[in-house]
Amino acid sequence: MKKTAILLILSVLLSGLTACGSWVRDDYLSVTPHSEQPYTEPAPTQEELPPTVSSRNELRGAVLSMIRDWTEHSIILVEDYDGDIAGDLTQTVQYATKEDPVGAYAVDYADAELTGDAVSGSIAIDIVFRRSAAEISSIVTVNGNEGACDRILEVLSNCSPALTLRIRNYRDTDFASYIRAYCLEHPEQMLALPELSAQVYPEEGETRILELHFLYPDTREEMRIMQGSVDTILSSASNYIRAGKTNTDRASLLCRFLTTRFSYTVCEDEPVMPAYSLLCEGKAHSLSFASVFFAECRNADIDCRIISGTRNGTAHYWNMIRLDGQYYYVDLMRGIAREEYDLTLLTTQELEAEEYVWDHTELPETPIPSEESKQPTAPTEKPIEKPTSPSTSPTGKPSTEEPTEPTETTEATETAETQPTEKQKRKNNS
């Protein structure tokens, strides 16, 4: 009985499977040959539509947008234009390429052609760029020359090769002189005096583009290694001269530290790395001495300046220093040439007598030299192995008097030959 039931079920299932083929009717099947459908370009978005202008301001904005987006060709639609479209178009191209800062910097040539009229016309704009899209996008906007100087110093500290600034509230500034002066006054930060090219676009205007390119004497990695060597020596010098009790003592120690470190080789050519050349290579140049002496005086809170001019018709550099309320000139390179290693304070008249030429009209006055003038000398301690040279007089000649503590210029009441020293007075009294 069970077998019969199983056979009956299997029979029903088989008949059902056979009937499946009849469930799919031929009239529900449709086969058609494939045919290519024509491509329909999608409608442009609002951003892709050509700009439409109806005034001079809108026209100017459209052209400037092309420049900032580095668009070489574009169509501008004109609709119900208010004004002289032909005249405005000429003025707009002139402004965008000659007066606008980015345009003056980036565009070499631009051409505009008007088709139609002010009601239903169009303008074809073609621009030839002299800067790449990357150069335009790298422009940094700053406010004022102070902001520009801050960004310049960042670039110099990283030894970057170029910088382009868009400066609002621009003031005419000699950026090349500023960069050179900062590098000389901060050898602990700026190792080299890079070759510099600077260009401003346009020539007039409250907002301008400043383009700077720097060329360094070595790779960034090598310069950082050399900068570390300079920093170590400058730090050691600062610690050394702190032993002085007065500014005169500290200036004297600094003078001897710098002039007796090496048996220097005189360098005729102006060094591109002044501090490194002096401190690490033993090459003597007036620019190197003036730069390092200034930096160390500043660290010791001594009022000091770098002076540039000529000596015997050749470019020369030295310092002006303030001690005990008086200003004097100091020329360490002069001492090296004379093999005089103590601090020698010089006046305007004395330098002029030695054929120094410089503009001192805006500089503080120095004391008037006289026969009674006495120069501060170096401290009696001998910090460096090189033998101490005789102390020097304002004229640079060796003095026969014993070294005395640095003093201000004495009044002309007695001659140096007749005025007794403190030591002679004590001897007479005894």
Is residue 14 over pLDDT 70? no
Contact criterion met (CB below 8 Å) for 67 and 73: no
Residue that has been written with the tokens 């509230």 in this structure: 169
Q: Which of 50-64, 122-136, 388-402 has the lowest mean pLDDT?
A: 388-402
Fold of 52-131: Ribosomal Protein S8; Chain: A, domain 1 (3.30.1370)
CATH architecture of the region 139-216: 3-Layer(aba) Sandwich (3.40)
Whole-number Å distance between alpha carbons of 194 and 197 = 10
| Residue 202: both structure tokens together | 């346009």
What's the mean per-residue pLDDT of the chain?
83
Its pTM stands at 0.71
Contact criterion met (CB below 8 Å) for 322 and 311: no
Give the pLDDT of residue 4. Answer: 53
CB burial class (10 A; 0-12, 13-18, 19+) of residue 412?
exposed
Give the pLDDT of residue 117. Answer: 87
Give the pLDDT of residue 388. Answer: 35
Whole-number Å distance between alpha carbons of 375 and 407 = 7
Domain range list for the chain:
52-131, 139-216, 222-411
Is residue 338 over pLDDT 60? yes
Give the pLDDT of residue 399. Answer: 37
Per mean pLDDT, which of 308-312, 371-375, 423-427 is the most reliable? 308-312
Residue that has been written with the tokens 């400066």 in this structure: 167
**Residue pLDDT, tens place only, 348-402:** 999 999 999 999 999 999 998 766 554 544 443 333 333 333 333 333 333 333 3
What are the Cα distances from residue 19, in Å, to 22, 23, 28, 342, 390?
5, 7, 17, 122, 129
CATH architecture of the region 222-411: Roll (3.10)
Per mean pLDDT, which of 172-176, 420-424, 425-429 is the most reliable? 172-176
139-216 shares the fold of 52-131: no
Adjacent-strand bridge partners of 163: 212
Is residue 40 over pLDDT 70? no
Give the pLDDT of residue 371. Answer: 60
Q: Which residue would you say has higher pLDDT here, 401 or 60?
A: 60
Whole-number Å distance between alpha carbons of 208 and 201 = 6
Whole-number Å distance between alpha carbons of 360 and 362 = 5
Average pLDDT over residues 291-320: 97
How would residue 264 be classed by pLDDT, with cut points 50, 70 and 90? very high
**Residue pLDDT, tens place only, 202-221:** 999 999 999 999 999 999 99
**For residue 395, what is the DSSP state?**
T
Report the 10 Å Cβ neighbour count for 58: 16
Give the pLDDT of residue 43. Answer: 53
Give the pLDDT of residue 36. Answer: 53
Average pLDDT over residues 191-197: 96
| Residue 251: both structure tokens together | 């200036």
Average pLDDT over residues 253-257: 96
Give the pLDDT of residue 419. Answer: 43
| Residue 420: both structure tokens together | 């007794």
Is residue 29 over pLDDT 70? no
